[in-house]
Amino acid sequence: MPTLTTQYVYFGASGSHTRQPRSTTTYGGFLPIPGLNPSGASTLTPGTSFQANPQALTETAAGVTYQFAFTNVSGCTEGPQVSFVAGTPPPAGTVGSSPINVLVVYVPEGGGNGGPSGAVIDAFNESTGSLVNNNFVTVSPDPGGTLTSEANVDGWVDTSDSGYTITADHPNIGPYLALPTNEVFDQWVDLTNASPPSTLVNGTDLTPGKGETVYALAFYKNPTFKKLYTKDLKEIKEELREVLKPTLADTPLKTITAEQPWKGPKENVEVPGYGNLGGPVEFIAAELQALNQRISSLEASLKGASKGTAFIKAEDRPAVGKAAKKPDKSR
Q: Which residues sit at the interface with another protein, rule CB under 8 A?
A: 170-171, 228-229, 233, 236-237, 239-240, 243-244, 246-253, 256, 260-262, 277-280, 283, 287-288, 290-295, 298-299, 302, 307-310, 312, 314, 317, 320-323, 331
Q: Min. distance of Cβ 240 from another protein in angstroms?
A: 5
The closest alpha carbon to 114, from 217, 17, 213, belongs to 213
113 φ/ψ sector (left φ>0, alpha ψ -120 to 50, else beta): left
**Would you say 15 and 116 are in contact if contact means Cβ atoms under 8 Å apart?**
yes
Residues 19 and 135: their CA atoms lie apart, in Å, by: 9
Query: Chain centroid to CA 9: how far?
Result: 24
Q: Min. distance of Cβ 94 from another protein in angstroms?
A: 22
Q: Min. distance of Cβ 181 from another protein in angstroms?
A: 12
* CB nearer to another protein: pick between 22 and 237: 237
**Would you say 16 and 154 are in contact if contact means Cβ atoms under 8 Å apart?**
yes
* CB nearer to another protein: pick between 34 and 279: 279
Q: Min. distance of Cβ 246 from another protein in angstroms?
A: 6
Residues 331 and 309: their CA atoms lie apart, in Å, by: 36
* CB nearer to another protein: pick between 195 and 254: 254
Q: Please list, in sequence order, all residues whose beta carbon lies within 8 angstroms of the beta carbon of residue 290, skipping any fewer than 6 positions away.
A: none
Q: How many residues does the chain have?
A: 331
How many other C-beta atoms can be found within 10 angstroms of the C-beta atom of residue 32? Answer: 15
* CB nearer to another protein: pick between 109 and 287: 287
Q: Min. distance of Cβ 183 from another protein in angstroms?
A: 14
How many other C-beta atoms can be found within 10 angstroms of the C-beta atom of residue 236? Answer: 14
* CB nearer to another protein: pick between 34 and 171: 171
Q: Min. distance of Cβ 271 from another protein in angstroms?
A: 17
* CB nearer to another protein: pick between 53 and 306: 306
* CB nearer to another protein: pick between 56 and 236: 236
Q: Min. distance of Cβ 301 from another protein in angstroms?
A: 9
**Would you say 93 and 53 are in contact if contact means Cβ atoms under 8 Å apart?**
no
Residues 186 and 323: their CA atoms lie apart, in Å, by: 40
Cα angle at 256 between 274 and 245, to 5 degrees? 100
User: How many Å from the N-terminal Cα to the C-terminal Cα in the chain?
Assistant: 38
